[in-house]
Amino acid sequence: MSYTSVLGGRRHRFDTLARLLAAASPERSGDRLAGLAAASEQERVAARWALADVPLTEFLAEPLIPYETDDVTRLILDTHDAAAFAPVAGLTVGEFREWLLSPGADAGALAALAPGLTPEMVAAVSKLMGNADLVAVARKVRVVTAFRSTIGLPGRLATRLQPNHPTDDPAGVAAALLDGLLLGSGDAVIGINPATDSPKAVRDLLELLDGVIRRYAIPTQSCVLCHVTTSVDLMSRGAPVDLVFQSIAGTQAANASFGVTLGLLDEAYEAALALERGTVGHNVMYFETGQGSALSAGAHHGVDQQTVEARAYAVARRYDPLLVNTVVGFIGPEYLYDGRQILRAALEDHFCGKLLGLPMGLDICYTNHADADDDDIATMLTMLGVAGASFVICTPGGDDIMLNYQSASYHDALYLREVLGLRPAPEFESWLDSIGLLDEKGGIRETTGAAHPLTAIGKELAA
Amino acid sequence: MSEVAVQTSELWSSLRQRTQARIGLGRAGSALPTRHRLELQAAHAAARDAVHSPFEPDVIAAGLAGTPTVRVRSSAPDRLTYLQRPDLGRRLEPMDRAHLPTGEWDAVFVVADGLSSRAVHEHAAAVVRETAARLENWHLAPVVLAEQARVALGDDVAHAMGAAMVVVLVGERPGMSAADSLGAYLTYRPTPGVTTDADRNCLSNIRPPLGLSYTGAAEKLAGLMTRARELGLTGVNLKDETDALPR
């Protein structure tokens, strides 16, 4: 089936749904690298005209990647909830955009619709939306999850405290952990990217974090971001695993390049649930995604960067995760060239994930070879705060010394909470209050550190 | 300073001994104090300049003191294209391929600007010299100096020259605390377009005095090259047994 429109006195023709979606995508370097981008600005808009007329049901009838060869396609189609889809089943993509923006599409309607949407539908509609549209609709969606803290409530913004260290030195990690806690961070998760995936190194870090969380009765969860097979191994040996982490992507082949299958994720999910380590909820998975991973694995099947990213969210939602974040500018300028492209991708990913029912957070970040700086971080942070992101990742001074990239800082999170009146997760907020870190207005008190009881974390380990 | 302030600065200065992370920065309201904001910008500026500084092959050639060199470019015509099209940075410019000398070389060193020409200007010549000095009786090709080049360009070079293995010394992606970090990638009998990263062995963070030293890098590289020649392979099956991680 082909798709056509007339624009600028020319008839534009797109041979497949995948070609149409790719041509309708906003400009980004990754789609050009893959040879999928629109050949001109007019062709891009022509593709959007044609896409606006496509019925949503077409995405159920015409899989972008064949059902027979890709288990993510099978997952999407086999779990599609036709009853939930019914309210929008008669709409085209263009009409769907207008419905999403209408007052009738409120939090309850959007939550009920989520199981009826496929990644391709939400990716398609996002291509017809401006940045402000993506904010306005995502803001209406609330996805609430819980483990030892509750994430995603209205008026709340959680943070991941990321105390990475290039050699996993316990004292170095503890020093960065103390810094983050004193700045009121860590209610989404205290999450470390370890320098190696060795089970011993991962276990040592898990025990370090578990010790601090228990000793200070912090209502949060830890995660050492290792491969899912490492977590399964460690859980079987009694290591204190709170959340199981995995990077995932939107095709079977891209997941294979990460060494992951749905079967492996099923196994890890069951094992983590069985540990029953949550206190206020039982969401036990943590996923990271990011545009470009399928292309870099040579596994995109001719599907554009953003649509294939949205398909990763279908994998995530199978496991009721506590947290999902797109690591939006991590891979580099060959996928997202500059601050403008990274911002657009961040808003798209957040919107698509939220509509599909996920607790979306972001690692708002860039590498130094991308054309971006700390002002781009501030812009993205502000827009995503308005859009109602569940959490953001924070690093000391915004500089991750392990992964060599720039992310938001603990200070950035303080800024966002201040200007938008957002508060930490409720359990974590009470804990901050109990240890004297909350000021009378509910902000984080500027502490001298030395006099604070938490500093024992740093003093003992640095000794 | 008050007693508490003294204790605070002592605490953070002792904690900062344990990590280069930017901890204990203090606050101006919710934001960073001016000094720390400017320090971050300075580090970012150094990284950006490292990415965009032009490659100067003369600097490397001078550092190699008499070792013959050949200069090539990738198919990426400029930095902007290079950053967005890694596929072009992996392929030789066709005219340059034709000019490469061929021979029965045991190995070829390729110095590639990668993402930090500063890293190769500062460290590459010393690593080549120190490594070559440990490779007695090896038939080494002229050192290839490659502009707008990524790691896999070395596959194209080795293939065109007839070299049995290639060592690519490349400027790593600059972080804010290291804008001059050099990486080394060893590949045995590479085939352009077929060889993958899993077929390579890598040393990273060559950057004395804070990172790996020249002699440390040269020892490891020469050792890996010798074992690669014995086993006829590189990659995941060639382990650096000197520092296997405890399991």
Segment B212-241 shows an average pLDDT of 90
| Inter-chain touch A406–B8, beta carbons under 8 Å | no
B178 and A CB contact within 8 Å: yes
**What pLDDT, on the 0 to 100 scale, is given for residue B3?**
65
> pTM of the prediction?
0.92
H helices of A27-182, in order, are 29-33, 41-52, 58-61, 71-78, 82-85, 93-101, 107-113, 119-126, 131-140, 170-182
Q: Which of A171, A397, A455 minimises the CB distance to B25? A: A397
pLDDT at res. B2:
63
Question: A450 or A272: whose pLDDT is higher?
Answer: A272
Nearest to A200 among B17, B179, B246 (CB): B246
Residues making up chain B, counted from first to last: 247
pLDDT at A237 exceeding the cut of 60: yes
Put simply, whether B177 touches A (Cβ < 8 Å) is yes
What is the mean pLDDT of the segment spanning A157-167? 96
Each residue's pLDDT tens digit, B196-208: 888 999 998 999 9
- Mutation target for A interface from B14, B30, B83: give the one with most A CBs within 10 A: B30
Chain A, residues 202-261, CB within 8 A of chain B, namely: none
CB contact residues (below 8 A), chain A span 403-432, against chain B = 404-406, 409, 411, 414-415, 417-418
Rounded to the nearest angstrom, the minimum Cα separation between B196 and chain A is: 11
- CB burial of A136-170 (b: ≥16 within 10 Å; e: otherwise) equals bbbbbbbbebbbbbbbbeeebbbbbbbbbbbebeb
pLDDT at A462: 58
- The answer to whether residue B242 scores a pLDDT higher than 70 is no
| Residue pLDDT, tens place only, A315-342 | 999 999 999 999 999 999 999 999 999 9
Chain B, window 129-168: residues with a beta carbon less than 8 angstroms from a chain A beta carbon = none
What pLDDT is recorded for position A448? Answer: 64
Residues A333 and B82: their CA atoms lie apart, in Å, by 10
Interface residue A399 vs chain B (CB under 8 A): yes
Out of A395, A398, A401, name the one closest to residue B20 (CB): A401
* Cβ contact, residue pair B21, A397, below 8 Å: yes
pLDDT at position A196:
82
Report yes or no for ipTM above 0.90. Answer: yes
Please give the backbone phi and psi of residue B35, each rounded to the nearest 5 degrees, phi first: -60, -45
> What's the pLDDT at B1?
53
Does the pLDDT at position A292 exceed 80?
Answer: yes
CA A72 vs CA A64, A76, A77, B64, B141: distances in Å: 11, 6, 9, 53, 48
pLDDT of residue A461: 63
Q: pLDDT tens digits for B96-141?
A: 999 999 999 999 999 999 999 999 999 999 999 999 999 999 999 9
Residue A422: which residues within 8 A CB-CB, separation 6 or more? A155, A156, A157, A385, A416
pLDDT over 80 (residue B5):
no
3-state SS, one letter per residue, for A176-203: HHHHHHHCCCCCCEEEECCCCCCHHHHH
Residue in chain A lying closest to B245 (CA): A198
Interchain CB distance below 8 Å, A198 and B245? yes
Tell me if chain A has a CB within 8 Å of the CB of B43: yes
Q: Select the residue from B19, B39, B239 to test the A interface by mutation, using most A Cβ atoms within 10 A.
A: B19
Best mutation site among A234, A366, A368 for testing chain B: the one with the most B CBs within 10 Å?
Answer: A368
Q: Which residue of B has its CA nearest to A31?
A: B84
Q: Does the structure show a pLDDT above 80 at A459?
A: no
Confidence tier at A248 by pLDDT (50, 70, 90)? very high
- Hey, is the C-beta of B14 within 8 angstroms of any chain A C-beta? yes
Query: Could you tell me the pLDDT band of residue B245, with boundaries at 50, 70 and 90?
Result: very low
Beta carbons of A176 and B85 less than 8 Å apart: no
Residues of B in contact with A406 (CB under 8 A): 44, 176
The DSSP line for A312-323 is HHHHHHTT--SE
- On chain A, the residues whose CB falls within 8 A of the CB of B83 are 332-334, 337, 369
